[in-house]
Amino acid sequence: MESFEKLGLSERTLKVLRQKGFEEPTPIQAKTIPAILAGGKDIIGQAQTGTGKTAAFGLPVIERLQAKAGQVQALVLTPTRELAIQVAEEINSLKGKKKLSIVPIYGGQSVDLQLRSLKKGIDIVVGTPGRILDHLKRRTLTLDSISYLVLDEADEMLNMGFLEDVGEIMEQTGPGKRTMLFSATMPREIMRIAGKYMGEYDVMKVTKGQLTVSLTDQIYFEVAAADKFEALCRIIDIEEKFYGLVFCRTKVDADTIAGRLAERGYDAGVLHGDMSQGRRENILDKFKKRLLNILVATDVAARGIDVRDLTHVINYTLPQDPESYVHRIGRTGRAGKEGMAITFITPGEYRKLQFIRKEAKTDIRRAKLPGVADVIKSKKLRIKAELRDIVKSPPRREYVEMSRELLENNEPAGILAALLQYSLQDELSEQRYAEIEEAAVDTKGKTRLFVKQGKRDGLTRRRLVDFIKVKAGIPGGRIRDIRILDKFSFVTLPFHEAETLLSCLKKHKGGTGPPITKARKVRGPA
């Protein structure tokens, strides 16, 4: 098993990673980090979205840059503004206490704000091609002295028609830089860019293994990050006999969730890489004996666990890649027994879930979280069944005597209600559960579609709206933020409607000149 300690990172960076709770590098990180730290050739990294590419180039770049250099030292180009913001935030979280300034620059943001930031001095600029090119033309940004140039999601930039802009930007960078290109696919046009603008390069490719999915029933719930714990409690409580693994991405999350479950009265344990072997074996033994019915674990700690008859596997956070997803859910539904795999996603993670679904060739269906009333109804049924089982067994003499004394001056129904209240406390109270808002109504729960037609193709706002309404049956009120540009366009839809439209486009071939011939999901407008 690879570890961050073996990749050549400094103790300062390792400390940041420990604080964030990361236990081991992803495959693309394990390949690229040592190569970037060692210096030398340019790098082409081929890996899918969601495999940790930002840390793969961000960590070694942070290590190699000088603090407060007074000029732009690195440029990261991304296809969309949302990705630019995301990458900038991630690099900021990885720098620790190192005095580096990282700023996203993208279209739609105030130019004056960007000018003020650039005048103050930025070490790492993360930007979209259009806005970066605009600043180069204004001479408010110079790239002739940068040490690193990163092209992130190069195939998306190709699909969105930005490669020409990317080439123009690369021409304005100095010869002393090191270039890193990351892409999920490597079409000819991207390799042509590499051949023209990059020096000698090494290719770091993460190969995909054969994925096989168990017969486990797989569902997902859309929840805001802040509501995940509440959603977890509802799922546990509505089940008659919950016995499952809850997977988290980091050991910090695992500790936090297990602690909150214990505070709420659940029999939960935790398993992660910082635990001693003795403590690990003790927790596993309790879990196998069902003294604990919930085990919160990281992927690293859960390797090699052989626990039978699990009812549930819950992905509290999405795994890094499809392989991890398949490995997680394969722990339930074994030996012909039914099991359920549940995944929580925030609105912004829908694209990554779709990628996992596609690569694993599996169906992960959407479901609605159980309501509070449903949870309490389920609890009441279980309590009644348990009490009936207890009544069937001969009661102990001391309790029989107590019951006779209590019944002498009290109504039976009142006594039973008092005993239930005394035993269960707030177990059946609706106040035990917090409200969970429907995540899909959040504007982040929408998908930005890139349409491969624009003004020059005769596409207008009205034609685009009419096509979506008529061909896909989507109400006009669900269609948002349309931008018709010269060669291509953008439109935003709730992600379920976006899936409907994409399916419709696959079926709609030929005909009398449809206004849309192709669309694809992107993270946001450039």
Confidence of residue 437 (pLDDT cuts 50, 70, 90): low
What DSSP designation does 329 have?
A: H
Give the architecture (CATH level 2) of 4-205.
3-Layer(aba) Sandwich (3.40)
- The first and second tokens of residue 243, run together, are 């016995």
Instruction: Return the CATH superfamily for domain 442-522.
Output: RRM (RNA recognition motif) domain (3.30.70.330)
Structural fold of domain 217-369 = Rossmann fold (3.40.50)
The domain limits of the chain are: 4-205, 217-369, 373-432, 442-522
Share of the chain above pLDDT 90, in %: 30
Q: How confident is the model over 449-468, as pLDDT tens digits?
A: 888 888 888 888 888 888 88
375-385 mean pLDDT: 82
Alpha-carbon gap, residue 220 to 365, rounded angstroms: 6
Residue 337 has pLDDT above 60, yes or no: no
**pLDDT (0 to 100) of residue 201:** 92
- Residue of 132, 130, 127, 131 whose CA lies nearest to 82: 127
Instruction: Count other Cβ atoms within 10 Å, centred on residue 176.
Output: 9
Q: Are strands 480-484 and 489-494 parallel, antiparallel or unpaired?
A: antiparallel
Q: Are strands 74-77 and 124-127 parallel, antiparallel or unpaired?
A: parallel
Secondary structure E strands in 223-324:
244-248, 268-271, 294-298, 312-315
Confidence of residue 423 (pLDDT cuts 50, 70, 90): confident
Residue 523's DSSP bridge partners are none
Alpha-carbon gap, residue 86 to 524, rounded angstroms: 11
Q: Is there a contact between 95 and 124 (Cβ–Cβ < 8 Å)?
A: no
Q: Is there a contact between 279 and 348 (Cβ–Cβ < 8 Å)?
A: no
- 57 residue type, one letter: F
Q: How confident is the model over 355-379, as pLDDT tens digits?
A: 888 877 888 888 888 888 888 888 7
Q: How confident is the model over 96-131, as pLDDT tens digits?
A: 889 999 999 998 888 888 998 888 889 999 999 999
Confidence of residue 421 (pLDDT cuts 50, 70, 90): confident
Residue 512 has pLDDT above 60, yes or no: no
More confident residue, 510 or 306: 306
Alpha-carbon gap, residue 95 to 445, rounded angstroms: 29
Q: How confident is the model over 26-51, as pLDDT tens digits?
A: 889 999 999 999 988 999 998 876 67
Same fold, 217-369 and 442-522: no
What DSSP designation does 512 have?
A: S
Which range scores top for mean pLDDT: 18-32, 218-232, 343-357, 359-373? 218-232
- Residue of 366, 522, 517, 506 whose CA lies nearest to 446: 522
Residue 504 has pLDDT above 50, yes or no: yes
**pLDDT (0 to 100) of residue 476:** 77
**pLDDT (0 to 100) of residue 441:** 44
Q: Is there a contact between 483 and 471 (Cβ–Cβ < 8 Å)?
A: no
Instruction: Count other Cβ atoms within 10 Å, centred on residue 478.
Output: 15
Residue 67 has pLDDT above 80, yes or no: no
Express the helix, strand and coil content of the chain in percent, nearest 5 each: 45, 15, 35
Query: 225-259: b or e for each residue (b if 16 or more CB lie within 10 Å)?
Result: eebbbbbbbbbbbbbeebbbbbbbbbbbbbbbbbe
- Residue of 301, 291, 300, 297 whose CA lies nearest to 314: 297
Q: Is there a contact between 99 and 120 (Cβ–Cβ < 8 Å)?
A: no
**pLDDT (0 to 100) of residue 458:** 86
Alpha-carbon gap, residue 269 to 279, rounded angstroms: 11
C-alpha 499 chain-centroid distance: 19
**pLDDT (0 to 100) of residue 526:** 39
Instruction: Count other Cβ atoms within 10 Å, centred on residue 411.
Output: 9
Alpha-carbon gap, residue 394 to 243, rounded angstroms: 29
